[in-house]
Amino acid sequence: MTAKVEAVLAATPIDDIHTHLYDPAFGDLLLWGIDDLLVYHYLVAEAFRYLDLPYEKFWVLSKAQQAELIWNALFIQNSPVSEACRGVITTLHALGLDVRKRDLPALRQWFTKWKAEEYVTRCLELAGVRTVCMTNSPFDDLERPVWEKGFSRDERFRAALRIDPLLLTWGDAAQCLARWGYDVGPNLTDKTISEVRRFLADWGQRIGARYLMVSFGPEFDFPSDGSCARLLEKVVLPHCREFGLPMALMMGVKRQVNSQLRQAGDGVGLSGLGALERLCAQFPENRFLVTVLARENQYELCVLARKFRNLHVFGCWWFNNVPSLVGEITRLRLELIGLSVTPQHSDARVLDQLIYKWRHSRQIIAQVLADKYADLAGTGWVVSEAEMKRDAESLLGGAFGKFCQPPGSSSAEKLRRL
Ligand code: RAT
Ligand code: ZN
């Protein structure tokens, strides 16, 4: 049974709904190749478990030097058993490289023959991925000018509007908006609210956003007097309703618990999901895509999804993306909310990571699904291959796609067909 389900999943193209990859038109912002794989922040955090050099001395090194230190600490002096390390090996192996030699210069040499555009196609092929959703922030000084200048889009790269600065550091964001020609002040007056909505409308349209997205710390609360909750209620959710877009909430990241690790310095905390419950209840016309970082929040999130159909659970995010937790969480979700879920997104920051993130996850999803089919088969309910294909499509992007359709569009379609 597992082999059959694995084959069906392997043949089903994936829509990867959250990554940090970029359309090749963004040039160097699209990361790929062995050095970028090695300096991935998941590996930086792990390397510092073994390194004794001061943090500042690491950060002044070149990317190649950092990669060498990480390679030595995590692959040569210790066996690469962690999920992020194993991922590098899975990726290299899938690309056809001989990993047994442990030869970093030879690996580097192999990558020099590639050009980004062709390599995108190769990685997507090997990962079985059809489309990837980027994370696009107008507040990013490297990214913003590319959008402003305009470029011809690669259709495999979809956009999502990331708005953390707007909701989390409103004072600074307001100053940016003012510089960019929006008539906003620090207080949330009617004028400011309508100008921030104009900003969202401009950027949503410019990038063709599929959804909006924010990450919250464990302290996020709703309702609340703070600017975050008020902007969410008065600006972001009305914008989402107007444009028929879902709002993605990534809950439970404790930013910069060790700032010396820079991008690798974020941690996890337990979220109060009462805030999410109130959002879902109070705004039935908004749709929320939600993932939680704390393992202890996973069960409560599934129960909430049983109560609110405007809530779509997605992904085993970040520290959850390790085989033991992906297995546990995927099983829990299928048992509580069936196939109305998107079990995984890759969160890839380096193009090549698509290969391992999806190979590893797909295998676990197949195992869980096969177990469920086997339980059903025990009662005589044998799932046909066509039904397996349908289920696989749902899990790998179909359920997400349906959830993202503007409200009423599917019933309107149905009515038209009558
Ligand atoms: O998984 C990651 O790479 C994290 O650093 C975060 O980027 C996280 O996924 C996020 O989107 O905030
Ligand atoms: Zn992410």
Q: Are 392 and 12 in contact (CB under 8 A)?
A: yes
Q: What is the 46 CA–ligand 2 centroid distance (Å)?
A: 18
Query: How confident is the model at residue 43, as a pLDDT?
Result: 99
The band of 417, judged by pLDDT with boundaries at 50, 70 and 90, is very low
Find the distance separating the first CA and the last CA of the chain, reported in whole Å: 39
Residue among 18, 20, 361 whose CB has most ligand 1 atoms within 8 A, to mutate: 20
Query: How confident is the model at residue 390, as a pLDDT?
Result: 98
Give the mean model confidence (pLDDT) for residues 285-301. Answer: 99
- Mean pLDDT of all residues belonging to the chain: 97
Q: What percent of the chain has pLDDT over 70?
A: 98
pTM exceeds 0.85: yes
Give the mean model confidence (pLDDT) for residues 159-175. Answer: 98
For the stretch 319-361, pLDDT in tens is 999 999 999 999 999 999 999 999 999 999 999 999 999 999 9
Residue 384 and residue 171: Cα distance in Å, rounded? 56
Neighbours of 396 (CB within 10 A): 26
| Lowest-confidence pick of 38-52, 194-208, 253-267, 402-416 | 402-416
Q: Which residue's structure tokens are 């620090």? A: 186
Helix spans in 338-398 (H): 353-377, 385-393
Residue 385 and residue 300: Cα distance in Å, rounded? 33
Q: pLDDT at residue 412 above 80?
A: no
Q: Is the CB of 180 under 6 A from ligand 1?
A: no
Q: What is the 397 CA–ligand 2 centroid distance (Å)?
A: 17
Whose Cα sits closest to atom 12 in ligand 1?
Answer: 215
Q: pLDDT at residue 414 above 50?
A: no
Q: What is the 250 CA–ligand 1 centroid distance (Å)?
A: 9
Give 329's contacts (C-beta < 8 A, 6+ positions apart): 295, 298, 316, 320, 343
Residue 170 and residue 163: Cα distance in Å, rounded? 10
Q: What is the 309 CA–ligand 1 centroid distance (Å)?
A: 26
Give the mean model confidence (pLDDT) for residues 94-122. Answer: 98
For the stretch 125-160, pLDDT in tens is 999 999 999 999 999 999 999 999 999 999 999 999
CA of 267, nearest ligand number? 1
The band of 410, judged by pLDDT with boundaries at 50, 70 and 90, is low
Q: pLDDT at residue 416 above 70?
A: no
